[in-house]
């Protein structure tokens, strides 16, 4: 429990007013850890939410840009009018297929990494559960 004893957190709110009558409000969150709390804190899991959002954004961009580019190319090659719906639908369908293909590739790519991250987290957690810190000298010892 040494990782909890040396930590403190707080929430602050401030209100201010200028001479001209303008008001402002601000807030913030703070967390501080002592050196012993930093040494003793348990390992944390890496989150993948940011990576998933990036993959979804890229898939949307692929769908839009590839679809529009292929639609324009199809219209230019066939000599159709730019308002022809079938040309736009053809390009957007191919863009959709490209986005789905990218999504499948990204999903397969991240599945292997997730199992590696999970295995590394379990190993680090097991190491943390079997380690002790000397409060006199600061060394960390592993108990087997």
Which pLDDT score, from 0 to 100, does residue 48 have? 61
Per-residue pLDDT at 138 exceeds 80:
no
The whole-model pTM stands at 0.47
| Residue 66 near residue 94, CB atoms below 8 Å | yes
pLDDT of residue 55: 81
Per-residue pLDDT at 4 exceeds 60? no
What is the per-residue pLDDT for 50?
67
The 10s digit of each residue's pLDDT in 77-116 is 888 777 777 777 877 888 888 888 888 888 887 777 777 7
* Residue-wise pLDDT tens digits, 34-80: 777 777 778 887 766 667 778 888 888 888 888 888 888 878 888 87
- Would you say 74 and 90 are in contact if contact means Cβ atoms under 8 Å apart? yes
pLDDT at 8: 61
Residue 38, helix vs strand vs coil: helix
CB atoms closer than 10 angstroms to residue 1: 5
**92, burial (CB in 10 Å: exposed 0-12, middle 13-18, buried 19+):** middle
pLDDT at 49: 63
What is the average pLDDT across 131-144?
79
Question: Taking a C-beta distance cutoff of 8 angstroms, is the pair 1, 9 a contact?
Answer: no
**Residue 87 and residue 78 in contact, taking contact as beta carbons nearer than 8 Å:** yes
Per-residue 3-state assignment (H helix, E strand, C coil) for 44-65: CCCCCHHHHHHHHHHHHHHHHH
- Phi and psi for 109 in degrees, rounded to 5? -65, -40
C-beta of residue 33 within 8 angstroms of C-beta of residue 39? no
Residue 133, strand partner residues: 140
């Amino acid at each position: 429990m040494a990782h909890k004893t040396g930590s403190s957190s707080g929430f602050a709110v401030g209100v201010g007013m200028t001479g001209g009558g303008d008001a402002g409000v601000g807030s913030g969150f703070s967390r501080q850890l002592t050196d012993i709390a930093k040494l003793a804190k348990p390992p944390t899991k890496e989150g993948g939410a940011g990576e998933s959002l990036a993959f979804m954004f890229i898939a949307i961009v692929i769908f839009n840009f590839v679809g529009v580019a292929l639609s324009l190319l199809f219209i230019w090659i066939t000599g159709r009018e730019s308002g022809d719906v079938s040309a736009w639908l053809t390009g957007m369908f191919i863009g959709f297929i490209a986005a789905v293909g990218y999504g499948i590739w990204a999903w397969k790519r991240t599945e292997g990494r997730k199992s590696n991250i999970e295995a590394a987290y379990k190993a680090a957690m097991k190491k943390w559960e079997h380690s002790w810190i000397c409060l006199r000298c600061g060394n960390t010892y592993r108990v087997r």
